[in-house]
């Protein structure tokens, strides 16, 4: 059976629930709710196995905090024997407008500390990532407050729709591969 590792980046703890920086956790929780599964505490995170049309998809929410995500990713890739080309990291991105998604097969960290740590620990940047736009409506010097802040009421009302369309991107990644999934997920410039 083909196996995949989907890592949603975020920070553990109730104070980070529903914050912009935790969109990776939010998306994986959305998938868990949709498939009726629940996460189990494991080393370096919470894990859920999602069966998708004959594939085993491991959903991981690292417990190492955002800036130390690399340790959890490296451990679970090795522990599960999943090759790097079947890894997908889900993260927030201030460079993208709210709700916009970008799937890439490789790239830089783009200033994101979670991606930066994964690249540093893994020693490579050729892994797939799904970036979900959180916008950048914050005053100069206040980026940290913005990304760690709660969604506005208007944004919160759209999160379920964003998670549903992002789940579709993950399904395409698993079932069709990153190249076809990039075409499907990145073709539209419109918000979900």
21 a catalytic residue: yes
Q: H helices of the chain, where?
A: 23-35, 69-80, 113-122, 143-147, 153-156, 159-176, 178-186
Cβ contact 93:133 at 8 Å: yes
**CA–CA separation, 58 vs 50, rounded Å?**
6
CA 84 to chain centre: 15
Q: Which residue has the tokens 């927030």?
A: 92
Catalytic positions, written as ranges: 21
């Amino acid at each position: 059976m083909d196996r995949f590792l989907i890592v949603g980046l975020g920070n553990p703890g109730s104070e980070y629930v529903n914050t912009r920086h935790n969109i990776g956790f939010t998306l994986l929780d959305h998938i868990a709710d949709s498939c009726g599964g629940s996460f189990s505490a494991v080393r370096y995170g919470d894990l859920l196995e999602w069966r998708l049309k004959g594939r085993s998809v491991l959903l991981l929410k690292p417990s190492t905090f955002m800036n130390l995500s690399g340790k959890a990713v490296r451990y679970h890739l090795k522990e599960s024997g999943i090759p790097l080309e079947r890894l997908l990291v889900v993260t927030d991105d201030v460079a993208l407008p709210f709700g916009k998604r970008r799937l890439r097969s490789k790239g830089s960290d783009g200033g994101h500390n979670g991606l930066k740590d994964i690249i540093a620990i893994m020693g490579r940047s050729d892994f797939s990532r799904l970036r979900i736009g959180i916008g950048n409506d914050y005053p100069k010097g206040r980026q940290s407050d913005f990304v760690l802040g709660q969604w506005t009421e208007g944004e919160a009302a759209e999160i379920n729709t964003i998670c549903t369309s992002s789940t579709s991107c993950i399904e395409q990644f698993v079932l069709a591969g990153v190249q076809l999934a990039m075409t499907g997920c990145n073709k539209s410039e419109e918000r979900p």
